[in-house]
Amino acid sequence: KTECGKILAKILNWEFIDTDENIKLGGKTIESFSAEFGMDEFRRRELHAIQESLARAEKISGCVLAMGGGFVDSVESKAALNTWLSSQRETAKIVWVKAKLPTIETRLQEGPVRAGGKLSPDELASLLHKRAPAYECIANFEFDNDQNGYIAERLKDWLRGLRAYDL
């Protein structure tokens, strides 16, 4: 998601904002912060980062905003996004960056630990199944990021397809 967002922002010559990078954790990793202070406190800080990011996005022309996948688990975070979208609906487009379960498992093993710590394959599958309806409801478009590599070229092709429909 972050890599796609950065590349998309570069292609469009827009600013990139990643809410995960704006969560204030006092220098701790997400895993250690969540273990010490709990997921409720992490989600509270995530909400604050989302609110700040949306306020910033509202003030600039052309922005790619990447949000952590767990934002849909928070009623408050979804409400913040929906409120922002109601004022931006004419111009804002939500892209669900999708990948299949095996791809996500591999990326999670290779990358930093996310909120909630390491998940078993069954827990991850259950989480994705639970979140999918929220992603489907909020997204205008989907981008298949199941393949490794060539993200920039695939994003350019994807954008050309959208522009062909004047979207």
Assign 140 a pLDDT band (cuts: 50, 70, 90): confident
Residue 108: closest CA among 48, 19, 30: 30
Comparing 115 with 125, which gets the higher pLDDT? 125
Residue 109: closest CA among 100, 97, 118, 122: 118
pLDDT of residue 105: 85
Q: Is a pLDDT exceeding 90 seen at residue 48?
A: yes
Report phi then psi at 165, rounded to 5. -100, 10
Q: What is the mean pLDDT of residues 16-28?
A: 89
pLDDT of residue 130: 94
pLDDT of residue 50: 94
Q: Is a pLDDT exceeding 90 seen at residue 69?
A: no
Q: Is a pLDDT exceeding 70 seen at residue 165?
A: no
Please give the single-letter amino acid code of residue 129. Answer: H
pLDDT of residue 167: 46
Assign 149 a pLDDT band (cuts: 50, 70, 90): low
Q: Is a pLDDT exceeding 90 seen at residue 133?
A: yes
80 in Cβ contact with 50 (< 8 Å):
yes
Question: Taking the CA of residue 137 as centre, how many other CA atoms within 13 Å lie in the half-sphere pointing to its CB?
Answer: 9
Q: Is a pLDDT exceeding 50 seen at residue 144?
A: yes
Summary mean pLDDT of the chain: 85
Report phi then psi at 120, rounded to 5. -70, 160
10 in Cβ contact with 156 (< 8 Å):
no
Q: What is the mean pLDDT of residues 97-124?
A: 78
Q: Is a pLDDT exceeding 60 seen at residue 34?
A: yes
